[in-house]
Chains A and B, each alone.
Chain A
Amino acid sequence: MKRPDIRDVDEISKNADRQLVRVTNRDLITMPYPYEDFVTPDSTDTEPGQACPACSLDGVSVLSLPEPKNAEEEQALVQQFLSGLKKLLSRDQNWTFLQPLKLSLDYCAKCLACSEACPVYVASGGQEIYRPVYRSEVLRRIISKYLGKGGKAFARFTEGDIDLNWATIARLAELSYRCTICRRCAQACVRGVDNGLIAHELRKLFSQEMGIAPAELHQLGTVRQLEMGTSTGMNPRAFKGIVSFMEDDIEEKTGRKISIPVDKEDADILLIHNSGEFLSWLENPEAFAIIFEAAGVDWTLSSELIEATNYGVWYDDIQLARIAMRHSEVARKLGVKRIVVGECGHAHKALMVVADRLFTEETYVPTESSIPLLEELVSSGRLNLDPARNDFPVTLHDPCNLVRLSGIVEPQRRILRAICPQFREMEPHGVDNYCCGGGSGFAIMNSQGFPEWKAAVAGRMKFRQILETFQDVISPDIHKYVCAPCSNCKGQLRDLFTYYEAGKRCGIFYGGLAELIANAMVDVEPFITWEEN
């Protein structure tokens, strides 16, 4: 089948019964040994006339939007979109991001310099729809034609002419979920234009005005978190049961009997983890418990505020604000002196950076990252550490939310240099890192074709980078550790390593930072177990 291709930005509004592009194995960037011949299945084709969810963009769908039944329904959808768009550009309705949005919409030179900075665009072999400026350009053309002052002829002369119809709306909604909002593209722009922000704002328009968002983020994410306290549905009682299990598990693994404080009032620190840790990576909160106990930290977990998670930061300012307020409320109720965010990148960005300007005199609680705190404990000498316990190849994956978006870059490196003799950097790293491909919610989104797309396209650059970092020790007989101090990144690495069978073929495993510290503690039994992940 001939690969459909985009020659003009306006094509997004045309041929509603056809898939816009098809990503094939041939297009994707090559991989190093032992994956030179690894064949990725081509993206699904939607034949003309076939049921076409989301007016198919690339054969993948995270939204599965129902098609309007008639012209009236389509027109209503268009009006709803335009109403949301006006709000997005209004100082009253979008005070939260209006200035950055306007600066990015109005001053892009369309020089395309940002394209090569985008791991999704590059990994896909340069698919036009994944180009950072593509979705922004579609939005610009819609604004010019439908909200511009000069009329449609002027719009055609200045920005372009895109029909706003079901195909455009459905594809644009999907397209807002093909960007991980890692903002590497923004870093490349000399004018300060931020195409990642435009993807974020589009998501907001769809969610806040039209009620359209991936179920994993909204219904099963923020809505459930606000209703039950966690996005996983775990209630305080179940949480306390898990904590009790953790205490037993720590004793079994390490021979140490530890009492993990829960809902302790007036503690110095309220530690909040991503809920994923309690479901999939208990070893991470266990390692924190071991380290804090050994260092004599005055801390607590909360059964009411089980998770640091705030998916609102990816798609909806209202939900972001609500969850941030919930975090503050619980911390104030417990009377803790500070909130410390565990190894969860987006929670760092949500609570410490973005939501910082939602707090008032009544709701503000000082919040900080666990990473510098861990470094302080490691360098304090309060933990008896032996780097020889971590004598295997280790590299560090930099979560975008932690480095490029929160500026926490060196503490984790200083820890690894101190306790991992075979620590090596990926290239590029730090604030220039590549996203794992699971950013902005992708790690937890698993709808039609998306898991394959995440592994084959969004995470391809990261996996290639990991392979290149370990080329000299690539044999599966040598255990290698990718340290990912972020829950969502770990989720994506788990899926990537499963997809590419990285454990079996290359002996590559992943885990958090605290686990490496606990593993290096002399008076604790070796903590890391090399399980297939």
Chain B
Amino acid sequence: MSVVQWITIGAYVFVVAAYAVKVVRALRMPPHLRWELYPIPHEENHRYGGSYFETPGWWRRPRRISRVRDLARMLKNYLFFGSYLRWDRSYWAGLYTWHIGFYFILLFHVLSFVSALVAVNTGVAGGAEPAGLGADVFRHIMTVMGATGFAAGAAGSILLLARRTLDPKMRAYTRPSNYFTYVFFLVVFVSGLVSWYPFDPSLTSYREFWYSLVQGQYVEVEPALNVHLLLFALFLVYLPFTRSTHYITKLIAFFSVRWDDTPNSPGSRMRRRIEQALSQPVGWEAEHVQPGTRWRDVAQNLPDAREGADRSSK
């Protein structure tokens, strides 16, 4: 295989591993106190933001929740960014275009991989592509995906870069690393456009590259595509160092924090986790805290309240 092929494999392995580490870290945090925010889609009265607390004797009644509604709301969030649309339409336009670029590129790569697997498994020889109407449609969809992904990603990068540069309020919160990200992503998307339209309008070379990659065979592609593939590999390696993990951690932020209204019921797993957490020692140093004792003791054995005066304002 070529160096670019090895780099591509390495980049994919890296990005998957790095994301996995980040997500596992976020998931393995200790149990936290409840901090939900209504409306919560899985609740029966989700339409107006109602909770089970609206029912007298709520703990005596079985809870009826709909995870399907949670998933549907999450999908809507991923697909439309409705909140941005409500609060800042011009930012939404740039951001949405940018994300369409990411989604389509991601889909394009998945389809490239799948088509390579299909080609290998159907025994099409010598990298020749499967024939037939279905295969043609599939290839057209891939081309549209790839081209739209490159174009939308590039346009979104420019729009966001312009907004962050020209809007003084946003500029105050934009760091050199953010500008670098927008410029670098722009270069990656533009390199994709350059490798596509002038040299490989049907993206055949791109598919050949993936086919060879899956087969573990050497392949020679256009220099423009080589440059894009190298940049794309760098892009993958760079991703985990950006806030892009939010694609996944957002699920934790919603399901484990914002929508987590599971009561701490007797005998539940949550209660067992809480029991463990309460056994941890407290190390905070303010006088009223009683550092060195366990959470359980700090909460239940009160200090002389006068000790708690500390440095409060009066």
Q: Which residues of A come within 8 Å of B, CB atoms?
A: 6-9, 62-65, 80, 83-84, 87, 91-93, 95-100, 102-104, 106-117, 128, 133, 137, 156-160, 183, 186-194, 197, 207-215, 217-220, 222-224, 226-227, 317-319, 321-322, 324-325, 338, 348, 352-361, 363-364, 366, 368-369, 372-373, 376, 403-411, 430-431, 447
Contact = CB atoms under 8 A, between A and B. Distances in A.
7 nearest interchain CB pairs?
Answer: A407-B51, A192-B253, A211-B310, A227-B305, A431-B49, A215-B314, A321-B299
Interface residues of B, number: 95
A322 B299 CA distance: 4
A529 B152 CA distance: 64
Nearest to A186: B37
7 contacts: A111-B170, A207-B310, A208-B286, A211-B311, A223-B288, A319-B308, A408-B50
Contact of A102 (B26, B81, B298, B309): B26
B236 interface: no
B123 interface: no
B144 interface: no
B300 interface: yes
Contact of B33 (A65, A97, A192, A325): A97
Contacts of A208: 284-286, 289
A197 B83 contact: no
B33 A107 contact: no
A99 B252 contact: yes
B312 A218 contact: yes
Contacts of B271: 360-361
A116 B34 CA distance: 26
Given A107-B246, A190-B81, A355-B33, A410 B50 contact: yes
A319 B87 CA distance: 37
A206 B72 CA distance: 40
B285 A83 contact: yes
A319 B308 CA distance: 10
A325 B309 CA distance: 20
A41 to B, nearest CB: 23
B51 A209 contact: no
Contacts of A222: 308
A137 B57 CA distance: 42
B40 A407 contact: yes
B259 to A, nearest CB: 9
Contact of B34 (A226, A321, A357): A357
B87 A210 contact: no
Interface in B93-120: 95
A352 B264 CA distance: 10
A410 B48 contact: yes
Contacts of A109: 243, 246
